[in-house]
Amino acid sequence: MSEVPSKWVPLEASPDVFNAIPNACGSIGLLHSLLNLPERGPDALNPDSKLAQFKAESLPLSGLERAKLLDETTFFTVAHTNAAQTGQSVVPTDLDVDEHFIAFVEGVDEKGEKRIVELDGGRNRPLDRGASNNFLVDVAKVVQEKYFERAEGDVNFNMIVLAGKSDD
C-alpha cells in the first residue's frame, strides 16, 4: 500500500509524513497512550471495546496501512469530533495552530528493561528517551530537560498523566 490518499497533507518537515486528520494531535496523543496500555491487568483495554478491536486489526499492518485504517475508521472520527465539540468555546475548524501533542509510554527492551518511549506524529518512528526506574519521575525529567529548558519562558505547556492507582 504505497499510494497516499490525496486528501492527506504532507508536512513541511518531511514530505513522507502526512497529516490525515487536521488538528487532531491531542486525540492522536491520547490514542498513542491508550493503544500502548498493558495487554493484561486492571489498566488494559476492555477486549470488547472498539479501540481494542482497532488495535488487534492494526497490529499486523504497516505504518501507512495503519494510517489508512485510522482514517477510514468511523469510531475514531466520532470520538474526536465529540471531544472537540464538548465544552463551552466555539472553535473554528480551520485553525492554523503551532501547538503540538506527544505521548510518552513505557516500553520494554529486548533485555526486559523498562524504557521511556516518546511517540510524536511529527517523527517517522518512536524515540527511545532512555531507561526508566520510575516512569513518572523519569518522564518529568525528560520533559524538563528536552522541552522546558529549551522553551525559554514559554508557558504554553500542559501535561496529562494517564496512570493506574498508586500502590503508595
Nearest to 155 by CA among 147, 164, 166: 147
Tell me if residue 80 is catalytic.
no
Considering the candidates 9, 38, 57, 100, report the single residue annotated as catalytic. 100
**Is 8 a member of any domain?**
no
Which residue has 522541552 as its cell numbers? 147
CB 124 within 8 A of CB 137: no
Q: What is the grid cell recorded at 15?
A: 514530505
Domain-located, residue 106: yes
Q: Give 127-160 pLDDT, tens digit per residue.
A: 889 999 998 899 999 988 888 877 777 777 777 7
Highest mean pLDDT pick, 13-17, 33-37, 97-101: 33-37
25 is catalytic: yes
Which residues are 105's β-sheet partners? 117
- Asked, for residue 6, whether it belongs to a domain, the answer is no
Most distant CA pair in the chain, distance: 51
Q: CA 125 to CA 165: how far, in whole Å?
A: 30
For 23, the domain range is 15-150
Domains of the chain: total = 1
> Which residue among the candidates 24, 25, 28, 70 is catalytic per the annotation?
25
The CATH number assigned to the domain holding 112 equals: 3.40.532.10
This prediction's pTM: 0.57
Mean pLDDT of the chain: 75
**Contact criterion met (CB below 8 Å) for 104 and 85:** no
- The helix (H) or strand (E) run that includes residue 167 is none
